[in-house]
A and B are shown apart, each in its own frame.
Chain A
Amino acid sequence: MTTTTVYDEMIEARRPPDLRSGVAGWLRKNLFNGPVNSVITIITAGLMAWALWPLLQWAVLQADWIGQTREDCSGEGACWVFISARFETIVYGFYPEAARWRVDIIFAMLAALIAWLAIPRLPAKRWVGLFALVGFPVVAYFLLVGGHFGLMYVPTREWGGLMLTLTIATVGIVGSLPLGVILALGRRSKMPLVKSVCVVFIEFWRGVPLITVLFMASVMLPLFVPTEVDFDKLLRALVGIMFFWSAYMAEVVRGGLQAIDKGQNEAGQALGLSYWQRMGLIILPQALKLVIPGIVNTFIALFKDTSLVLIIGLFDLLAIVRAGLTDPNWLGFATEGYVFAALVFWVFCFSMSRYSQYIERKLHTGHRR
């Protein structure tokens, strides 16, 4: 015989148990939950200390920071004097000292614009974004190149160091994303001509190594183009880098476009939205959000590969550091040089990575798609 049970007392809603009970709680939960895990934790910590301690000693504890020449270095740890003594060159390259304030202004503007666009709380994103895409490049061009308004002309061959790296990376990133989006849309177009142009473009640029692109831009192009039209070498490299990465970007974005349910486009059609409205308001916001990891991945690869321009004689950050290694007064500090260059690249790339994760979390709108 079955019995019927009736629960006629309502259970009050309670707060969930507190899972984050401070550092001690975290340690116990993650590192010391049981004898085996405790032993593993201790051994791992020991190994890490054993491996990292010498590095810490070399890089920080026994390192020399202050001075002008190599004589200021004791030689026991890292000689960061090598970096600090040539810090200006590493940042500005061969940019004339008297005009470096112009670079500083551009650095400051770039930092301010990125911060403004990146911090969600700040208002007027649309106008700031518009300025960043249209106004800023013009200002940057006139300030950095000069030759107008009484500013001294600084040819791009005198640019270098971090400033050149950031120039290439910024132009590459800002140029390749929109171009990539257009190419991705074009590749999915129903118009045969548009589609084939985009496919050929993407497959061509994706099929050649970036080094080849740079060589073609610096060596081959001048052979085909009449000598009177003298494109700047940096400009040629920039265009090459932009096209190259836009092809990658296009495929990343296309992956996102394909992941969007067909019904989204149909719902937009049924509401009477035009093609560009559907893409701009419905499809792209979702598709781009889906592929943020892929986009940032491409940005990071682009940022690091800016250092390839050294093979066509442009002195980016890494090339400037390398050039310093051959300075007769400073022979033997290759480790410091490369570690520093790696650190700078890492800081930029890691920031991009963290920011992308933050944005992904922020754009998340509920558990179901």
Chain B
Amino acid sequence: MTTPAASASNGPMIEIQRLNKWYGDFHVLRDIDLTVARGERIVICGPSGSGKSTLIRCVNHLEEHQQGEIVVNGIAMTQDVKRIEQIRRHVGMVFQHFNLFPHLSVLENCCLSQVWVQKKPRAEAEATAMEYLERVQIANQAYKYPGQLSGGQQQRVAIARALCMRPDVMLFDEPTSALDPEMIKEVLDVMVELAHEGMTMLCVTHEMGFAKTVADRVIFMDQGQIIEEAPPESFFNNPRSERTQLFLSQILGH
């Protein structure tokens, strides 16, 4: 695929320093430090409610944090709407429940932000959209509406829609956990391919097979904190913290 556009800096893709966030009195994220290099693939796992979604949603400011620094692609996150939109333009996101726009066809879903955010001419946007729909192997459904597709197909469209913006980094929030088992593979295949092409990925998932094949690092979170951070080899074979061991034994089902 096309290499990410030459960006403002050659530093890390995402730099998070001492990030803290509260919901009211509830401390969801505690002193998170995380640096994601360009081209790095990171898988985040952890028990339900540990703050995984909250963490990656802070990266494109779907959630606001109260303390700490987030720098994405050399742009520091502030409250400024223009700056936030600038960051979002380079950060693709895929949601658990797809969040396709049901009133627009698959093709229109993919063209919307190209036309309105990138101000591309319609024809060019459609060409790009078809290119990515082709890649997730769903181009033949381009004129259908999301409501007429299966879950797996919808999630692949959602990935294509995000890729159409030619993002420098992709965020995935449990992209396969709303899918029936037989559809999980078709989505994971797309993600694996994307990883092999060098996309920077930050991925919340419990698909440990995926983590083993593509992740450069696996991060385990619990109670708003990063507990363990390791390459998949050592993460799965000899997890250091007890909580990680417990979690792994539960999730791997033994």
Contacts and interface: CB of A to CB of B under 8 A. Distances in A.
B99 A272 contact: no
Contact of B103 (A263, A273, A277, A285): A285
B147 A269 contact: no
Most B CB within 10 A of own CB, among A261, A271, A274, A365: A271
A42 to B, nearest CB: 44
B95 A263 contact: yes
Nearest to B93: A270
B147 A366 contact: yes
B88 interface: yes
A273 B117 contact: yes
Contacts of B101: 264, 267, 282, 286
Contacts of B103: 285-286, 289, 363, 365
B95 A272 contact: no
B107 interface: no
Contact of A272 (B148, B165, B171): B165
A270 B92 contact: yes
Contacts of B97: 261, 263
Contact of A365 (B89, B102, B112, B161): B102
Nearest to A363: B103
Contacts of B61: 269
B102 A271 contact: no
Contact of A286 (B62, B95, B102): B102
Given A272-B117, A281-B116, A366 B162 contact: no
B99 A271 contact: no
A269 B102 contact: no
B147 A270 contact: no
Interface in B56-99: 60-62, 81, 85-86, 88-89, 91-93, 95, 97, 99
A267 B148 contact: no
A366 B145 contact: yes
Contacts of B51: none
A267 B62 CA distance: 10
Contacts of B112: 271, 273, 281-282
A274 B85 contact: yes
Contacts of B144: 366
Contact of B95 (A267, A277, A368): A267
A80 B9 CA distance: 84
Nearest to B57: A266
B152 to A, nearest CB: 14
A246 to B, nearest CB: 25
B100 interface: yes
User: Size class of A's contact patch?
Assistant: 20 to 34
Most B CB within 10 A of own CB, among A270, A273, A275: A270
A150 B95 CA distance: 64
A288 to B, nearest CB: 10
A275 B85 CA distance: 10
B113 interface: yes
A366 B148 contact: yes
Given A263-B97, A285-B103, A271 B161 contact: yes
B89 A272 contact: yes
Interface string B112-131: 11001100000000000000
B95 A366 contact: no
A266 B147 contact: no
Contacts of B145: 365-366
Nearest to A286: B103
B116 A270 contact: no
B146 interface: yes
B62 A266 contact: yes
B117 A271 contact: yes
A20 interface: no
A41 B144 CA distance: 44
B99 A261 contact: yes
B88 A369 contact: no
Contacts of A366: 102, 144-148
Given A365-B103, A367-B147, A269 B113 contact: no
Given A263-B95, A282-B101, A273 B113 contact: yes
Given A271-B165, A272-B117, A367-B147, A264 B88 contact: no
A270 B100 contact: no
Contact of B116 (A261, A263, A277, A367): A277
Nearest to B89: A272
Interface in A101-115: none
A272 B113 contact: yes
Contacts of A281: 112, 116
Nearest to B144: A366
Given A273-B117, A281-B112, A281-B116, A266 B88 contact: no
B95 A271 contact: no
Contacts of A271: 88, 112-113, 117, 161-162, 165
14 contacts: A261-B97, A263-B97, A271-B165, A272-B86, A273-B117, A277-B117, A281-B112, A282-B112, A286-B102, A365-B103, A366-B145, A366-B146, A368-B146, A368-B147
Given A286-B102, A368-B146, A369-B147, 12 more contacts: A263-B99, A267-B101, A269-B88, A271-B88, A271-B117, A273-B112, A273-B113, A273-B116, A275-B81, A365-B102, A366-B146, A366-B148
Question: Ordered nearest first, which 8 A-B pairs have the shortest CB separation?
Answer: A366-B147, A267-B99, A271-B113, A263-B99, A270-B93, A368-B147, A365-B145, A272-B88
